[in-house]
Amino acid sequence: MPLDARETPIRIAFFLGILGGGGAERSTNRLAKELVARGYHVDLVASSVCGDMVDEVPAGVRLFDLKASGTARAVIPYIRYLRREDPEIVIACPSSVCFVAAAVNGTLTRRRMVIFVQRTWEGVLHGRQARLRYRLQQIGVLAAYRRAEAIIAVSHATKQHLLDIPGMKAERIHVIYNPIWSPALEERAREAVAHPWLAEPGGPPVVLAVSRLSREKGIDILLRAFALLLRQREARLLVLGEGEERPALERLVAELGLAGRVSMPGFEPNPFAYMARCALLVLPSRHEALGNVLVEAMSVGTPVVSTASPGGTGEILGQGRFGVQVPVDDPPSMARAIENTLDAPLDPGLLRARAREFSAISSVIAVEKLIRECAARRQA
């Protein structure tokens, strides 16, 4: 039966790993919210849930915490969820969860429509063992993705990354940007913030990073760049986020003599209010599927500096028209870019207009179109 002819709303399950405080989770929440508004029933199914994220789940979306300590241990509770709630469509991300969704779907009597979302994965090819591990990873990805109805790549760079896998078919990969801009984001940006640096009139400019504290996010590079910046001008650095690299980063702050000039207060559920009050946002990632925080900062008119990392950051910044890009792992270049941007920021109106090109509405329309195409193929 065509989707338009159905009387009962379609149930869509987003199957995630850990529901934490990253950009991927915020993107999923925005997409879920828009799908609910269009009449779908939506579940968020996570292997585990961080307490801070429970309040971020949109109204009308049901949250299922599988309470599993890892993806492998989520298999049995995930099967129980499928049998009990019976969603018709599963949208799975990240790759480890996609493997589970593919394997489980092949064992069930009723096979659901499964769509995978591919952001990125780290393919560091240093040494024979690393190359062999990466090749085995590619084989595993290909085997799992052949069982999916379709694959969503969140940038053209991510699609090309997938097409580097021998045997991957281009027609099965659909580029749909993350849902980022929305009127709600701008509303939240107007909320108050408690950090004293942002309440101090006439204080030094505050540079902001919003990131998981993990190696691939490159906060260590930003700290080294910031230390160089301080040789030229007074500034402060605020890093919002949490992760396993916190102890190492705190040691680096001390080694570089940045105490009192760097603040890392942890996870913040509303980073947009901070973005609106800071002078500049920096994304120092070593690799990044898209770079949601760039669009989020631009949404409130805040200029950005980003690494030219593998992924979609260049697509957001128009290859430099909407923000400066610097080489990966290059603190001096990053320090110069931060200084130049503080001295001559881009027009906030230009940045806001660019951000609206990555709207939640555009993404949900594209996802709904893809669902209809997949359904039509099934019925043919």
Distances (CA, A) of 189 to 15, 55, 214, 215, 220: 29, 17, 26, 28, 27
Note whether 16 and 33 are within 8 A (CB): no
320 sits in the region (left: phi over 0; alpha: psi -120 to 50; else beta) called left
Note whether 97 and 21 are within 8 A (CB): no
CATH number of 3-179+359-379, picked from 3.40.50.2000, 3.10.20.740, 3.40.50.300, 3.40.309.10: 3.40.50.2000
pTM: 0.85
pLDDT of residue 363: 94
Note whether 108 and 82 are within 8 A (CB): yes
- HSE on the CB side for 146, CA within 13 Å? 9
Q: Are 3-179+359-379 and 183-357 in the same CATH fold?
A: yes
- Per-residue pLDDT of the chain (380 residues), as tens digits, is 335 545 678 999 999 887 776 677 888 888 999 999 999 999 999 888 876 667 778 899 999 999 988 778 888 999 999 999 999 999 988 777 877 887 787 666 567 889 999 876 554 444 455 556 656 666 767 777 778 889 999 999 888 888 888 888 899 899 999 999 989 899 999 999 989 999 877 889 999 999 999 999 999 999 999 999 999 999 999 999 999 999 999 999 999 999 999 999 998 989 999 999 999 999 999 988 888 999 999 999 999 999 998 888 999 999 889 999 999 999 999 999 999 999 999 999 999 999 999 999 999 999 999 999 988 887 76
| Alpha helices, H only, the chain | 23-37, 75-85, 95-105, 128-145, 156-163, 183-189, 219-229, 246-255, 271-277, 292-299, 313-316, 331-343, 348-355, 360-379
CA gap 121, 91 in Å, rounded: 18
Note whether 211 and 297 are within 8 A (CB): no
Note whether 16 and 25 are within 8 A (CB): yes
Going across the sheet that includes 173-175, the strands are 61-65, 41-49, 11-19, 89-92, 113-118, 150-153, 173-175
Of 28, 93, 19, 29, give the one whose Cα is nearest residue 52.
19
Of 18, 24, 21, give the one whose Cα is nearest residue 55.
21
pLDDT of residue 126: 41
CA gap 208, 238 in Å, rounded: 5
Burial class (CB in 10 A: 0-12, 13-18, 19+), 125: exposed
Q: What are phi and psi of 90, to 5 degrees?
A: -120, 125
pLDDT of residue 135: 63
Look up residue 190 and give its DSSP letter: T
Q: At which residue do the structure tokens 């949900």 appear?
A: 364
CATH number of 183-357, picked from 3.90.320.10, 3.40.50.2000, 3.30.479.10, 1.10.3720.10: 3.40.50.2000
pLDDT of residue 137: 63
- Domain spans, the chain: 3-179+359-379, 183-357
